[in-house]
Amino acid sequence: MSSQDKEVVVLPRRDFLKLSTVLASGLAIGFHWPQLLSSAVAADSAVAAGTPFEPNAWVRVLADNSVKIVAHKHDSGTGTLTALAACVAEELDVDPMQIEVITPENPFFEVYIHPVWKVFSTGGSTSVSLEYDRLRQAGATARALLLAAAAEQWTVSPASCSSQDGRIVHAASGRSASYGDLAEAAAQLPVPEHVALKDPAQFKYIGKLKHKRHAAEKVNGSFRYSIDVTLPGMWVAVIERAPVIGAKVLDVDASAALQVPGVYQVMQVPAHPEVLGGNFEGVAVLAQDYWSAERGRAALQIRWSESRFADFNSAALGAEQATYLESGQAPLVPTIVSGDVEAHWAQAGTLLEADYLMPYKVQNPLEPVCITAWVKDAGISYWGGVQVPSSAGEAAQVVCGIPMENVTINDTVSGGSFGARESKYWLFEVAYLANRTGRPVKLINSRTDEMRSLFGHPATFHRLKGSLDAKGNLSGLQLRAVSPASPEQWEPGYLERPDQMDYSTTEAISPWDFAYRAEHMDIGWVRHETGVPTGWYRSVSFIPNVFAVESFMDELADAAGRDPLEFRLAHMHERPRHVSVLRQAAERAGWGRPQPAGTSLGIATNQAYHSYVAVVAKLVQEQGRIRIDKLTCAVDCGLAVSPGGVEEQIYGGLMWGLGHALFDRMDIQNGRVLQSNFHDYRVARMSDMPEIEIILLQEERDKPGGVGELTSPPVAPAIANALFRLTGDRQRSTPLELAVRTNV
């Protein structure tokens, strides 16, 4: 959306002060999206009517010379706040590291809603790309008003004034004034309809930052995360949840638990099955501290009901999904269709078929899910990593009967998310406990709780069929991606739409992000529900879809006797940025040049979040073992607002992808999750990391693309493709085995 689609609002001082008791005199700049403000009124008319006005103030310049921006996006350690602050700071001519980033007083103001998902949320690698234009515009508008205020006081032309490091300067007379000195006067001026943005050639901060905010505090341990929140009279809670999926509490003997020193109370937590993504039943132990609560939980005697999932085993799921697909009853949602695949098979030359599987996975952020809530004065306040304010508001309404206008969210930077903080169950649980006790309650998951929360990534099954013509070109392609749907709240009404499409399940296999073309194509999603609750996961369906597609493209190239890189490029059309990342990664990795004995390269690529990535994996065989020697990664994400943060996310995504390739696997046996901690759910460690080379391309610098979830999907297929070239062993399921298998 362009700046012409936005209305800039300057708050009069009297209304600005209503936002917060801590604000002093100053200037506030905000954007209203006109199409979302059907119920809103302009500031002046609200004042005339004597009613409070709740604006969306993005930029605040205060009399004490402080500059604040309101960030309605959650930072789970990705550096989002660093990049957002830089967008404002660039146009305002202040050091972004000196800007204070604060959470909104009203987290549910209409302008904060995600324009695509229609909920209040952070995710999908969209934060910086969505906010880039309007935050720059906000900073530029604030600067223009400060320039005008100074020019009016000095009786000079605004064009003769300039901004520099938080001051307005009139070089001809040698006069200058701080932003704080001018803020109140600037707030009284009319808002300019159009303001000029900086020429990117003059950027001081955008595209140049190398460090994240609060890096020093995170290194020295003084930075406060969600788990560090403390409030007066706060109780700490842990919850024992059903050991078998869907089991209910029959009875509880809490006598021993209540004898544990420090334990205050034990109570059952009801389920909310009527809410998609709600919680299951459990028993909470509330205590003075975490370890007392844990000891109390260990002393509980709970009798659980039988469950319909008592016979569910994830090991059999792949066969079940295949049978379902072959039954003819599977509902197909087509994503790409061209030509006539079924008629083409009869006359096709070479035909290939393959099935690909990926298991259940758990997010496992370093800081387990942790949230504090306090029901007080007819409202509820949350402290913690609230990635989805809409879910917090829903929990308040459903569990406590508290309307969203009485919900306060004190968001904190969390120690990772990877989708874990997009689930709902913990918000429902803490709201219930806070409502029942009337106290501030901090709910903490243990690592075992995190492993067994069940709102991780679903197991998936892909069946592919392809044909090659006499020249070795791809002539036909069919794909069936079998998986459950995402929760309805994330694709509202999708079951009622004609296409019944769940776009979060069909990533990388939809027309806008599928890289390849053939005359006959039949690609689609088959919805298969097991009832096992699943949730969000970093890179979501890109992970299994890219694994299947990029592995199968290598299979087709091998059958055609063609180089895998050349084969891919031959079937890309009008994708110059995609071609560029492929060529760059291949060139830097040494593709096409002779490799030492026992060494192989594998390549994979994808597009996501308006960005492009290619990964080349280098494998080396030594003494019967295979190690990953190097990952070469080329990324084109458009403009990198914070290059240091972008490179960190690329690196982290590669490590995350390495985990998919080699370790990530959650097993369910007789309805129980088998894994409980890192000793039996292996994750990538520092010692597992190969050499990493990152090539950051910025071929279209007018707009940033997403990068947080970009680089993990191609890692597993790149490794699998290199394994095949090294050993002749085509592995079609993860985790991959880095061993020379003698039965190949």
Cα separation, 369 vs 371, whole angstroms: 7
Rounded mean pLDDT of the chain? 88
Q: What is the pLDDT of residue 544?
A: 98
Poorest-confidence range of 124-133, 361-370, 614-623?
124-133
Q: What is the dihedral of CA 629, 635, 641, 644, to 10 degrees?
A: 10
Q: What is the pLDDT of residue 502?
A: 87
Q: What is the pLDDT of residue 12?
A: 38
Q: What is the pLDDT of residue 14?
A: 32
Q: What is the pLDDT of residue 623?
A: 85
pLDDT in tens, 192-230: 888 999 999 999 999 998 888 888 888 898 989 999 999
Mapped onto helix, strand or coil, the DSSP state of residue 292 is helix
Asked whether residue 418 carries a pLDDT value surpassing 50, the answer given is: yes
Cα separation, 31 vs 112, whole angstroms: 10
Amino acid at 421: R
Q: What is the pLDDT of residue 30?
A: 59
Asked whether residue 306 carries a pLDDT value surpassing 70, the answer given is: yes
Q: Which residues pair with 673 in a beta bridge?
A: 668
pLDDT in tens, 527-556: 999 999 999 999 999 999 999 999 999 999
Residue 591 per-residue DSSP state: T
pTM of the shown model: 0.91
pLDDT in tens, 282-303: 999 999 999 999 999 999 999 9
Q: What is the pLDDT of residue 134?
A: 86
pLDDT in tens, 435-469: 999 999 999 999 999 999 889 999 999 999 999 99
Given a contact cutoff of 8 angstroms between Cβ atoms, the answer to whether 489 and 393 are in contact is no
Question: How confident is residue 122, by pLDDT bands cut at 50, 70 and 90?
Answer: confident
Q: What is the pLDDT of residue 28?
A: 67
Q: In 10 A of CB 237, how many CB atoms?
A: 28
Given a contact cutoff of 8 angstroms between Cβ atoms, the answer to whether 522 and 335 are in contact is no
Q: What is the pLDDT of residue 57?
A: 58
Amino acid at 155: T
Asked whether residue 318 carries a pLDDT value surpassing 50, the answer given is: yes
Asked whether residue 45 carries a pLDDT value surpassing 80, the answer given is: no
Q: What is the pLDDT of residue 34?
A: 31
pLDDT in tens, 698-735: 878 888 999 999 999 999 999 999 999 999 999 999 99
pLDDT in tens, 565-607: 999 999 999 999 999 999 999 999 999 999 999 999 999 999 9
pLDDT in tens, 48-77: 332 221 222 578 888 888 888 888 888 888
Residues 6+ apart with CB under 8 A from 211: 82, 644
* E runs forming strands in 448-586: 460-468, 474-483, 520-527
Q: What is the pLDDT of residue 331?
A: 86
Q: What is the pLDDT of residue 78?
A: 85
Q: What is the pLDDT of residue 120?
A: 76
